[in-house]
Amino acid sequence: MGPGTLGKVLAGLPAYRDANVLVTGATFDDAGIYQVSPELALVQTVDFFTPMVDDPYDFGRVAVANSLSDVYAMGGLPKTALNVVSFPINCLDHGILREIMRGGADKLMEAQVALLGGHTVDDPEPKYGVSVTGFVSPDKIWTNQGAQPGDVLILTKKLGSGLVTTALKGDALKDPDREIPEVTESMAQLNRLAAQTAREIGGVHACTDITGFGFLGHLGEMVGEDPITMYIEGAPLPFLSQAPVYSKEGLAPAGAYRNLEYLGERVEFLVEDWLKMALVTPETSGGLLLAFSSEDGARYLKAMAAQGQFAAAVGKVGHRKDSPDIVVY
């Protein structure tokens, strides 16, 4: 569901007020946070979706990595999970479901997260994900707002998973033997080390992960109502190897057009149409997008490189004058 539609659905719904609630979905943050003591807060999220790859085991890995990412994006450590499963129990081999859940279980093991149980529903279309609970210190919470003029924006995974998986579904991949492992491993990679390194460096002003609203949709949430403008230089943006080709071929999915409509005049595009569409295409289990001071950002990039981890500076934060929320040039 696009951000515009979701906002309309949620508008005006009643909500119980609790002083211990520190973060809700009101700002489209990645998870909710509830304080249980001066030293401890719970980070809670849930996500599940239909398969975006053909291999059931890989689907399970990607779905869990995607859900865990919401906790990492809030500065937290995921601790427990519950499976959320829909499956056509009388139509597909039960071994497929086992492989999906085995992939999820292996990814939870990698993240050192305890699986406590779950819920299954008989459904015509397979869907899988997890509900996750994590811990965070109340004074070390990250949210998607708080970026400051002069900050550098750093992304920890390449863009383009949505374009590549759309090509996969349409049997339009140029080099399946190369592209399927590339996109699968990108989506299945945990954001754990990227978040851990950011906590060690310190100085995170804002953070989100790049998923269904696309790169620019989530970047727009980082602007919020703050008097800032995000400047994104298009040419050096990192993409999976064939993603630009698929965008040029017009393979952006319907969700990209919903995201673009939602952003409206908040974005000024000074780039080619293929790049515009690539930046609003929904991503699956994308990287973290972090705002640091220029000094802390440089330290973060150096620390990630020393660990053999991908991270790239993709933009900067400026003062709002007469410019829109985001400028892509």
pLDDT digits (tens, 9 = 90+) for 82-114: 999 999 999 999 999 999 999 999 999 999 999
pLDDT digits over 188-243, tens only?
999 999 999 999 999 999 999 999 999 999 999 999 889 999 999 998 999 999 99
* Interacting residues of 322 by C-beta distance below 8 A, sequence separation 6+: none
pTM confidence score: 0.95
pLDDT digits over 236-292, tens only?
999 999 999 999 999 999 999 999 999 999 999 999 999 999 999 999 999 999 999
Residue 41, CA distances (Å) to 66, 133, 286, 312 in order: 21, 10, 25, 31
* Interacting residues of 14 by C-beta distance below 8 A, sequence separation 6+: none
Q: Which residue has the higher pLDDT, 143 or 5?
A: 143
**Ordered domains of the chain (ranges, CATH):** 3-140 (3.30.1330.10), 152-328 (3.90.650.10)
Q: Is the pLDDT of residue 176 over 90?
A: yes
The answer to whether the CB of 318 falls within 8 A of the CB of 228 is yes
- In angstroms, the CA 287 to CA 3 distance is 19
The answer to whether the CB of 282 falls within 8 A of the CB of 253 is yes
